[in-house]
Chain A
């Protein structure tokens, strides 16, 4: 992978060691380079990286929605690389979730039962309700708001999740205040936890540990924790039979 933003290559085995230390069984690994360089190359490399620990690391892929070959790339990632979901970052990738080009792609993902995770919480292309439109059009598509509206659009993320049961919210990069607000206002069945760790150039992934510490500081009861950390992600990642 390219050395974007000064991030050094971090071996899968080393990250699994970090997960062991933190008590994390599995991690969804999202593409980064592919959001602004060649998506196909990134997808291939990320699948290979996760293959070092297939029971622990779950690879998601990305694509350029306006690429006429995007459907083929989805096919390749699912059927050849065994990838389990999609990550899109509309403002970084320069498209609107409500563009028509998204329709056949979402239809494909809905039929395959794969989740599609969006960066959300920032204008102009990543508001929760813009992303929610896809959940409205495709009621069986599993749509994840990657940040729960971040700080300023938390209310919009809540409204989106309340309206569309196929919206999921990953409590990622959120301060504890906003995580608690989501827990108080959104069905617990729609909530997930994510660290947004960047696998940076340190021996230990301190950011992941700090995010984990923040989640634990909420002191949720065991039933809620189990739903957010185990039951919900299992449901999210369960693909439909081929």
Chain B
């Protein structure tokens, strides 16, 4: 079974077409994220839109909630409402949301994640404030919270992803936009399958392509299962607790 750890659901997305693509690709479930303005400012609207889709197709989708830490107490409340409605993780994009991963304003939100027992998907790869090594420091501050390193620093901070992953076992590499015999092979040889989670980053890359790249990795069946499913299930079940 394959679970896609990250899809951005643009507002105009045809859900039926998305599910057909998942069927064709062999993806059983996917975690959907709000998009663009919903990430930046219209957090509740975005969360509600995603939760509505999940409620209509509970056997296919999970929901990321998003919340911008600049909203302070309201940010925690926004997250709490979404989690109570079924969100399984928090998506943050410090580039789009306008904060540094090391700015203390994000701390209360991370603490709320820990309390809720969920995990964080954090976009990385965009300088100056969304970088893998910044995520390493944040993950070190919160060793009981699990993080998916969105895009794993792609493109030019890709090499920083490896030391971040090595240092913090509570960070997982996002496989999107990487290739089987280069980037994915490098991550695998550096930290093993235990810290890798399949994410397509659809629609910015096709789900089919992402699945094919992981399938083309020269690894054992057990390792592939860890990347495609088991590690993410661990986060979904274990949430913030390692």
Contact = CB atoms under 8 A, between A and B. Distances in A.
Chain B binds chain A = yes
B179 A210 contact: yes
Given A176-B209, A214-B209, A151 B181 contact: no
Q: Kindly state the interface size class of chain A when it binds its partner.
A: 20 to 34
B169 to A, nearest CB: 26
A123 B205 CA distance: 23
Nearest to A121: B155
A152 B95 contact: yes
A152 B213 CA distance: 23
Contacts of A151: 125-126, 151, 154-155, 204
B180 interface: yes
A218 B95 CA distance: 28
Contacts, number: 49
Contacts of B154: 151
In terms of DSSP, what is the predominant structure of the interface of chain A? Answer: loop
A98 interface: no
User: Interface range on chain B: under 10, 10 to 19, 20 to 34, or 35 or more?
Assistant: 20 to 34
Secondary structure type dominating chain B contacts:
loop
Interface string A204-217: 00110010011001
Interface string A109-130: 0000000000001110000000
A178 B216 CA distance: 24
Contacts of B204: 151, 175, 177-178
B156 to A, nearest CB: 5
B131 to A, nearest CB: 12
Contacts of A202: 181
A176 B205 contact: yes
Contacts of B156: 121-122, 150
Interface of B: 95, 125-128, 151, 154-156, 177, 179-182, 201, 203-206, 209, 213, 216
Given A175-B205, A177-B203, A210-B179, 20 more contacts: A123-B127, A150-B155, A151-B125, A151-B126, A151-B204, A152-B126, A173-B155, A175-B177, A176-B206, A176-B209, A177-B204, A200-B181, A200-B182, A206-B181, A207-B179, A207-B181, A207-B182, A213-B209, A217-B206, A217-B209
19 contacts: A122-B127, A122-B155, A123-B127, A150-B156, A151-B125, A151-B204, A152-B126, A175-B177, A175-B204, A175-B205, A176-B206, A177-B204, A200-B181, A202-B181, A206-B179, A206-B180, A206-B216, A210-B179, A217-B209
